[in-house]
Copies of this chain bind each other. A is one copy, B any other.
Amino acid sequence: MGALGPVSVSTAERQRLDVELGERSYPIYIGRNLLSDPACYRPYIVGERVMIVSNETVAPLYLDALRAGLEGFEIDQVILPDGERYKDLTTLNHIFDALLERRCGRDVTIVALGGGVVGDMAGFAAACYQRGVPFIQVPTTLLAQVDSSVGGKTGVNHPAGKNMIGAFHQPRAVIADTATLETLSERELSAGLAEVIKYGLISDRLFFDWLEEKVPALRALDPVALATAIDRSCQNKALIVAADERESGQRALLNLGHSFGHAIEAGTGYGTWLHGEAVGVGLVMAAQLSERLGWLKPVDTARIQDLVACAGLPIVPPDSLPSERWLELMAVDKKVQRGRLRLVLLQGIGAALLTADVDAGQLRATIAAAQRQTA
């Protein structure tokens, strides 16, 4: 995996970034007002039929604009309830019901309009409907634009664990319209920034430096800063995914902060914390554990904590989770291999690594110390 050079500011109206995955390669378009631009869709739809999957919050805002971009196709739509708690097999089945009710064949293209939950479910439905149909991602949250829509991970939750049921299924194209971010709440925008910061921490120190300066501009929805951050995040993710499509090795680095984050989400009940909020705390806790192991300098832990806070994210975990429950929730996570807990930790800013050498005692101590901050 090559490292990226200095952060270059994006000023083009529509940028294109290609995710290189051989015959499954696809473009990501980034820019303002792409939603209604037929040129973003036409080359990637093979048949004549399109099934839009959206939710009851996003549809009233952007469905008409998307339909304008898809003019000329036979368009159907299915509108799901909004929220992580609906990301399950039952809601997934609503998509299958709609596809079958409308008698869609294998030549239908599914278009996901919404955040990560919609994208994950629509993508998984596309992976499974008649054993696989094409789909296009139109992410409308910052989190989805920088993360969920790149990499081909799709799926739903199970009461016993997040994203436990799913498939790898690459989209034909991703259209990230930055104008859709203007209707996000501040809380959701901050949640997206957690994943943006994550890319800097994993392997892109220059980006981390840039973010320390630009997070206020991003929170103020500065369009050039937003397009730059999305582009750079997607570049980082695309490099990692291209090197390891099925997550056999390096791709696991993308889980930085996520083992802690998943435990927070599951332990407090999905939907109480936003995914990005849980990841924000997860990044801080991963840094704290790395420092405890002597891998990370205290000054870097402080920088990480400051940037996460500056992004408007929580930096301490909920005090309601007993330490044993933490370990239990982290052990069911997919990062377990042959009974050993694997974690992504930091050897520096921009230098993450996957390790199976974490002592449970030090993990417990990190959790306890973080919870003391709460009190």
On whether the beta carbons of B130 and A334 are closer than 8 Å, the reply is: yes
Return chain B residues, CB-CB under 8 Å to A100.
Answer: 158, 160-161, 164, 332
A357 close to B (CB within 8 Å): no
Which A146-175 residues have C-beta < 8 A from chain B?
A: 153, 155, 158, 160-161, 163-168
> If A130-B164, A165-B128 touch, does A158 touch B107 (CB 8 Å cutoff)?
no
A48 close to B (CB within 8 Å): yes
On whether the beta carbons of A105 and B336 are closer than 8 Å, the reply is: yes
A47 close to B (CB within 8 Å): yes
> If A48-B338, A166-B131, A167-B131 touch, does A93 touch B103 (CB 8 Å cutoff)?
no
On whether the beta carbons of B107 and A47 are closer than 8 Å, the reply is: no
On whether the beta carbons of A331 and B47 are closer than 8 Å, the reply is: no
Chain B residue with Cβ nearest A161: B100
Contact with B along A321-347 (1 / 0, CB 8 A): 000000000011010111100000000
On whether the beta carbons of A153 and B131 are closer than 8 Å, the reply is: yes
A127 close to B (CB within 8 Å): yes
Give CA–CA (A164, B101) in the complex, Å.
12
Give CA–CA (A246, B158) in the complex, Å.
28
- Nearest Cβ distance between residue A316 and chain B, in whole angstroms? 28
Give CA–CA (A63, B132) in the complex, Å.
33
Which among B164, B246, B332, B336 is the interface contact of A129 at CB below 8 angstroms? B164
A89 close to B (CB within 8 Å): yes
- Nearest Cβ distance between residue A180 and chain B, in whole angstroms? 27
A42 close to B (CB within 8 Å): no
On whether the beta carbons of B164 and A47 are closer than 8 Å, the reply is: no
Give CA–CA (A93, B92) in the complex, Å.
13
On whether the beta carbons of B165 and A96 are closer than 8 Å, the reply is: yes
Which A46-71 residues have C-beta < 8 A from chain B?
A: 47-48
The 3 closest A-B pairs by CB, nearest first: A100-B160, A105-B336, A131-B166
Sample (14) of A-B pairs whose CB atoms are under 8 Å apart: A47-B338, A89-B89, A96-B164, A97-B160, A100-B160, A100-B161, A100-B164, A105-B334, A106-B337, A128-B165, A128-B167, A131-B167, A131-B168, A132-B167
